[in-house]
Amino acid sequence: MQFNKVDICGVNTAKLKVLTESEKMALLKRCKEGDKQAREDLVNGNLRLVLSVIQRFTQRGENLDDLFQVGCIGLIKSIDNFDISQNVRFSTYAVPMIIGEIRRYLRDNNSVRVSRSLRDMAYKAMQAKERLTGSNLREPTVEEIARELGVKREEVVMALESIVEPVSLFEPVYSDGGDTIYVMDQIGDKNDDSNWLDEIALKEAINNLSPREKKILSLRFFQGKTQMEVANEIGISQAQVSRLEKGALNKVKGKI
């Protein structure tokens, strides 16, 4: 399904009803009294909210129908658990619930398979993190989370790392005047033996490079340093290192 279509899960999103805050509260009160029709009206009246949330996940290549259905589950959970005695807008409570449901779905359906026990530990760790953040008014350390759960620090680290989504090496992390820095630019290469720069007649090829360009190539490809480490050593920005590195490589390639 293409994002520019208005039909999701058989629902014409262009015709979705939008409830006012007073209408939502009136329906929520009836829901708490067991009115099933009010619950259904409340779901239908907040489908646009679900639609607005799933737009945040459209670049992930996931099926929008699936995300919409999962988002509706989060919406229903928020309706069933919303406390009408609190002075909070329903959407303020519902949006994080919908996002959380979608993220759980994405984690559980990640292409990298993770055992159920490890996922359960990760969810417990995240819940403990939220509790400790609320009580201490700061983000807890891994050691504090481990103590809260009564497990080893290593178990918490492994569990949390297991649900981190893979990142492409070609994902941009910074852009400065058209010079984009990718994830791969921030990873050092420790395998000097297989590096292509060490397999060519490098000394002859780089004779015409400036001292700074030679220094950058040496630090990057012979010492295996990241662009950030090179920038700190030379005293320039990472964007400048990226720009000089690319220029130097182009000169070297032109000589070979």
For 24-68, the pLDDT digits (tens) are: 889 989 988 888 898 899 988 888 888 888 888 776 667 788 888
| pLDDT recorded at residue 37 | 92
**Given this structure, which CATH class describes domain 116-162?**
mainly alpha
The CATH 1.20.120.1810 portion of the chain extends over: 7-108
The CATH 1.10.10.10 portion of the chain extends over: 116-162, 172-255
| pLDDT recorded at residue 193 | 47
Length of the chain: 256
The answer to whether residues 105 and 71 touch, using CB atoms and an 8 Å cutoff, is: no
Partner residues linked to 7 by β-bridges: 12
Q: Does domain 7-108 have CATH number 2.40.10.220?
A: no
Residue 227 CB partners (closer than 8 Å, separation 6+): 181, 185, 186, 220, 238, 241, 242, 245
Q: Which residues of the chain have pLDDT under 70?
A: 1-15, 59-61, 110-114, 163-205, 255-256
| pLDDT recorded at residue 200 | 46
| pLDDT recorded at residue 254 | 73
State pTM to two decimals.
0.43
Q: Which CATH architecture has domain 172-255?
A: Orthogonal Bundle (1.10)
What are the Cα distances from residue 193, in Å, to 10, 126, 190, 220, 230?
57, 42, 9, 14, 21
Q: How many CB atoms lie within 10 A of CB 44?
A: 13
| pLDDT recorded at residue 151 | 92
